[in-house]
Amino acid sequence: MIENQNTNRAKLLISCSDKPGIVSAISNFLYEHGANIVQSDQYTTDPEGGRFYMRVEFDLSDFDKDFATISERFEEVAQQFDMQWRLESEKRMKRMAIFVSKEDHCLLELLWKWRSSELHVDIPLVISNHADLQQTVESYGIPFYHIPVTKDTKPAAEQEAIDLLEKHNIDFIVLARYMQILSADFVGHFPNRIINIHHSFLPAFIGANPYAQAFERGVKLIGATAHYVTNDLDEGPIIEQDVLRVNHRYTTPQLRVAGRNVERITLARAVSWHTDDKIIVYGNKTIIFS
């Protein structure tokens, strides 16, 4: 992994009710505070009375000083338009924890992209309810924590995981086929900061054995869905979905192989968008900026 080279780059993400003057106010503010806008994207759900979304990338010559000033003073603009906003520094690498059980395809995709510098994150730890993948994870130089989970030990196990995540200052969590349902208390600690991969094209084939269900239905497409985790199982804001074409010749095991391929690609893409600050969550939907 190499350090991100855009050390002067910042990103501002905004959502609010649409009204005249928003873009002008933001642009003028950034200009007055020494920012050079390099990319600006916006989207409005409805030209009249809709919701406005914007993502701006800009460079700062005196980054630390100007970034701190913008972070402090932009609230004055935000209050004028009742904005929800966040300011991100590209030189600060996000810290990602991975949760995994026994299947390794999604885990390995993330680790490969991390090691080849395609995924700009730090990975301080991997947590698993099984010990099967410890050697694999540690071969990448990443600490592995085995926290078994049973019905009786689940609250204590989750608290142990939370303590580790807070100790390592984790920004977000990726469930790379972690086969445990997280409690509402755990999810509440990390709102819109837990990404899950679901092994079907939601809302189809929810629950156990999705590929057996798909085989019985004679599907022609195998899909996967990456989404943020909420207290409603598999119903959180969808980040990305993808499919692979199959046919009547595919057996259930062959469908499972095809599904694993689309799962790892879909999850990696969603994680990349999250780390690059390309997502705004509003309600149960996401706005993805290219």
CATH number of domain containing 23: 3.30.70.260
Domain membership of residue 237 (yes or no) is yes
Please list the residues that pair with 56 across neighbouring strands.
12, 40
Task: State whether residue 267 is helix, strand or coil.
Answer: helix
Q: What confidence score (pLDDT) does residue 81 get? A: 96
Domain membership of residue 2 (yes or no) is no
DSSP annotation of 128? E
> Are residues 24 and 157 both part of a single domain?
no
pLDDT tens figures, 181-234: 999 999 999 999 999 998 876 456 666 677 777 777 888 888 899 999 998 877
Domain membership of residue 32 (yes or no) is yes
Name the pTM for this structure.
Answer: 0.91
Q: From 37, 62, 89, give the residue that closes a domain.
A: 89
Which residues constitute the domain of residue 270? 94-288
pLDDT at 241 over 80: yes
Residues with catalytic annotation?
234
Domain membership of residue 13 (yes or no) is yes
CATH number of domain containing 261: 3.40.50.170
> Are residues 190 and 100 both part of a single domain?
yes
Token pair of 218 as six digits: 């004679």
Overall residue count recorded for the chain in this entry: 290
Q: From 58, 89, 120, give the residue that closes a domain.
A: 89
pLDDT tens figures, 58-76: 999 999 999 999 999 999 9
Domain membership of residue 218 (yes or no) is yes
Token pair of 168 as six digits: 């390592």
- How far apart are the C-alpha atoms of 129 and 95, rounded to whole Å? 21
Collect all residues with Cβ–Cβ distance below 8 Å to 60 and sequence separation of at least 6. Answer: 8, 10, 34, 35, 36, 66, 67, 70
Q: What confidence score (pLDDT) does residue 2 get? A: 45
Domain membership of residue 3 (yes or no) is no
Q: What confidence score (pLDDT) does residue 100 get? A: 98
Q: Which residue has the higher pLDDT, 232 or 55?
A: 55
Q: How confident is the model at residue 1 (pLDDT cuts 50, 70, 90)?
A: very low
87, 11 Cβ separation under 8 angstroms: yes
> Are residues 106 and 233 both part of a single domain?
yes
Task: State whether residue 235 is helix, strand or coil.
Answer: coil
**Of 244, 239, 275, nearest in space to 262 by CA:** 244
Domain membership of residue 226 (yes or no) is yes
Domain membership of residue 74 (yes or no) is yes
- How far apart are the C-alpha atoms of 238 and 203, rounded to whole Å? 11
Query: Roughly what angle, to the nearest 10 degrees, separates helices 22-32 and 63-81?
Result: 160
- How far apart are the C-alpha atoms of 140 and 142, rounded to whole Å? 6
Query: Roughly what angle, to the nearest 10 degrees, separates helices 210-217 and 252-275?
Result: 120
Please tell me the least confidently modeled range out of 40-44, 209-213, 250-254, 276-280: 209-213
